[in-house]
């Protein structure tokens, strides 16, 4: 596998094989694309939760969606975990794998932008859900529209035989906002 360069990313976007709606071309760097924080956040209502059973669906009333305007920060408190999403809608072609990483500048403040599952499967389409945690001891304001993560692209030796968008067990394809875990659907 090889990582796409800025030149190859621009070429793929221009020819339409890689789609990133809402992308500012100035966000393309040497070998990645910086993505911005969206406006919707999903938080657990911790006062109402005794536990989460991974074999069961997360009840809708266990989480709350908070929507912020571009000029309103989301305050992430110490020890808090939230789901956010990217402002950009991505569509990965069948011959690329995306890799999502948080920005070091936020990590230096104790903010982890994506804690697990940093791979974006070939054929995935949607807004990327971000697993955001504050491991510092001070609250941090997160502003919608801020560059929070980067997406790099690895080329595959051949296109995926059954890409994510064609697998019937795909749980998060075409997601439009942060979604709670659907691990209970695993077989």
Q: What was the pLDDT predicted at 177? A: 73
For residue 100, list its beta bridge partners: 151
SS3 of 48, please? helix
- Phi–psi pair at 73, nearest 5 degrees: -80, 155
For the record, the structure tokens of 180 come out as 């709670």
Question: pTM value?
Answer: 0.88
Which tokens is 110 given?
A: 């104790």
Q: pLDDT tens-digit profile of 125-172?
A: 999 999 999 999 999 999 999 999 999 999 999 998 987 787 777 767
Give the tens place of pLDDT for each residue, 70-98: 999 999 999 999 999 999 999 999 999 99
Instruction: Output the CATH code of domain 6-182.
Output: 2.70.40.10
Please confirm, yes or no, whether 67 is among the known catalytic residues: no
Which of 21, 88, 131, 177 is flagged as catalytic?
Answer: 131
pLDDT in tens, 23-49: 999 999 999 999 999 999 999 887 766
């Amino acid at each position: 596998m090889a990582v796409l360069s800025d030149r190859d990313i621009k070429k793929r976007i221009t020819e339409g094989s890689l789609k990133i709606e809402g992308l500012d071309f100035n966000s393309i760097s040497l070998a990645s694309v910086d993505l911005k924080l969206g406006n919707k956040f999903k938080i657990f209502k911790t006062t109402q939760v005794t536990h989460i059973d991974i074999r069961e669906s997360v009840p809708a009333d266990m989480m709350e969606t908070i929507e912020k305007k571009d000029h309103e920060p989301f305050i992430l408190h110490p020890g808090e975990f939230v789901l956010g999403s990217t402002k950009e809608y991505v569509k990965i072609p069948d011959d690329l794998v995306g890799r999502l990483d948080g920005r070091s500048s936020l990590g230096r403040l104790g903010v982890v932008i994506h804690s697990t599952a940093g791979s974006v499967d070939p054929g995935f389409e949607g807004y990327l859900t971000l697993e955001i945690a504050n491991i510092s001891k001070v609250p941090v304001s997160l502003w919608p529209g801020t560059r929070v993560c980067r997406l790099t692209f690895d080329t595959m030796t051949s296109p995926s035989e059954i890409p994510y968008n064609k697998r019937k067990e795909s749980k998060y394809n075409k997601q439009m906002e942060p979604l709670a875990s659907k691990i209970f659907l695993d077989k």
